[in-house]
Amino acid sequence: MLGLCDNARKASLFPHTPVLHESSVGAREVFVEEKQTCRITLTAPLNNQARVVVFLVCGANKAPAVQRVHTGPRDVAEFAAQLIAPAGGELHWFMEAAAASLLPFQPAELKLKPR
């Protein structure tokens, strides 16, 4: 189960960090310049071994990130969530209406309810 940050990262896969290009399965330390700290993250290849990956996304502030991940150009250095694609598994996105508001389509899992 993953979340999505407003900069289109997931977990500690921060934009423009070397760990985005990691090809091995495992956990890695990554230095995050903008936060001046180290984080531990699971590599995308490890995430992609899951049988089921679920993104839960809430908030209007996430709408631009959701839009970029789903309809923008593939740019994994900028939009780390685009790296998540389980090999032989399932990927599901569950979003509230505000988070999905900039999408030109409504995903099948999306159940829009007025607030």
Q: Structure pTM?
A: 0.83
State which H helix or E strand residue 82 sits in. Answer: none
Q: Residue ranges per domain, the chain?
A: 2-95
Tens digit of each residue's pLDDT (9 = 90 or more) over 67-82: 999 999 999 999 999 9
pLDDT at 111 over 80: no
Tens digit of each residue's pLDDT (9 = 90 or more) over 28-53: 999 988 889 999 999 999 999 999 99
pLDDT at 20 over 70: yes
CATH code: domain 2-95 is: 3.40.50.1360
Q: How far is CA 4 from the centre of its chain?
A: 5
CA distances from 93 to 16, 27, 31, 58, 78 (A): 24, 24, 28, 11, 19
Mean pLDDT computed over 106-114: 53
Average pLDDT over the chain reads: 88
